[in-house]
Amino acid sequence: MKNILKFTIIFFITLGFTSCSLDDDGNVIGPTGNSKTYALVSVDDPNIFGTARFIENSNNSTTVELELVGTPSGGMHPAHIHFNSAAEGGDIAVTLGTVDGSTGFSTVIVSELDDGNPITYDQLITFDGYINVHLSASDLGTLVAQGDIGENELTGESKVYALDSVDDPAISGTATFQERVNGEALAIIDLENTTDGAMHPAHIHANTAAEGGDIVFTFNSVDGTTGVSKTNVDAIAYVDILDYDGYINVHLSSSDLGTLVAQGDIGQNELTGESKVYVLNSVDVPTASGTATFEQRVNGEALATLDIINSVDGEMHPAHIHAGSVATAPGAILFTFNSVDGTTGVSKTNVSALDDETAFGYDDVLTVDGYINVHLSAANLATLVAQGDIGINE
């Protein structure tokens, strides 16, 4: 029994010395019990990832433990805390312990930045920074893991918007906004089938895509080789993005902004998935017919898409909602669509108000006493390309 007691006392004394150290004045430095763990995600090697654990010490210093899985045995991986978010990039703020590839582990005590300015645990866990773990001292450009820390940490809240194909039917994707602790957002544009080696400029524009609008925010360009762009969004808070009156355009190149590779409405303009399709029958052009699709937006407005087959190439076909039914026509014009492009047969229009500025949204379309006329041209409104009852007249 005495031997067991002796061993227990020695064990806990040894544990105390391995868990604590002494400062310059001989005071014991040990963990306070407070800690914060950040994710380190893979970058150039999808098999390497891990965590960074910040442990508060009693003297306000911080023990930073990096732990990675998948590192190559024998490798030595330098690590640093950088200023700003990973999407922005920034200079080195703190040099961390080098990760031993054989164990995947490193530890270091941090009490000051590399420039000598002191930094406490509380300041580190609210720091505007990110961690890079590099392949080697001779290849700092290759990253094995990376993660935002402090105020740049992601909360787990996110919103994904669809980016549909425009001029190239093979290219489409998503725009994901992830909330940060500081209220900003990480925006990730991810497109399929982009052009290897190309750089595709991307922006948030005001209004809906059907209306068009000025540029209000510029993303980092989409890398055509990976199809990915990552941008820190600080001009528009994450919560404001969710209700923003805007849309995203991704362009072919900086020298050809007129060619769009992908586009999508965001915020209040996002489509809910609710839609209604009306048939547009041929009238004076027997081969022409089509549909009028109304899609509900989050804000209650609608995206109206007129799609006419065998429309006249090169012509622009005016289109309207008229009062009454086809059987009681003619009726007064209630709403004017963007003209149907005869070459594509398509027109897209945001529906938010009648021509007299009376509010008119998706639910109103479903109950309107009206019909749609698609005309041959502005100079020949009497010749009808297609026509169909909508709302209560369906």
Q: Determine the Cα–Cα distance for residues 53 and 166; give it in Å rounded to an integer.
A: 45
Q: Is the pLDDT of residue 387 over 90?
A: yes
Q: Identify the CATH number of the domain defined by range 154-267.
A: 2.60.40.200
Tokens 């105390």 correspond to 16
Is 205 within 8 Å of 247 (Cβ atoms)? yes
Segment 344-363, tens digit of pLDDT: 999 999 999 999 999 999 99
Residue 23 pLDDT class (50, 70, 90 cuts): low
User: How many C-beta atoms surround the C-beta of residue 293 within 10 A?
Assistant: 16
* CA–CA gap between residue 55 and residue 36 (Å, rounded): 7
Distances (CA, A) of 326 to 217, 280, 332, 337, 393: 45, 11, 12, 18, 9
What are the extents of the domains in the chain?
18-150, 154-267, 271-391
* pLDDT tens digit sequence for 60-86: 999 999 999 999 999 999 999 999 999
Per-residue pLDDT reduced to its tens digit, 258-269: 999 999 999 999
17 pLDDT band (50/70/90 cuts)? very low
Q: Would the pTM count as exceeding 0.75? A: yes
Under DSSP, is residue 123 helix (H, G, I), strand (E, B) or coil?
Answer: helix
Helical (H) or strand (E) element with 6: helix 2-19
CB 375: neighbour CB atoms within 10 A? Answer: 23
Q: What is the pLDDT of residues 296-313, one digit of tens each?
A: 999 999 999 999 999 988
Sheet holding 289-297, edge to edge: 316-317, 340-341, 346-351, 302-309, 289-297, 271-282, 380-391, 369-377, 319-323, 333-336
Q: What is the maximal distance between C-alpha atoms in the chain? A: 110
Is 271-391 in the same CATH topology as 18-150?
yes
Q: Are 224 and 195 in contact (CB under 8 A)?
A: yes
CATH of domain 18-150: 2.60.40.200
The CATH class for the domain spanning 271-391 reads: mainly beta
**Angle at alpha carbon of residue 290, lines to 287 and 291, rounded to 5°:** 170
pLDDT digits (tens, 9 = 90+) for 149-187: 999 999 999 999 999 999 999 999 999 999 999 999 999
Query: What six digits make up the tokens of 132?
Result: 């890079």
> In sequence order, which residues have a C-beta less than 8 Å from that of residue 155 and are 6 or more positions away?
178, 179, 180, 181
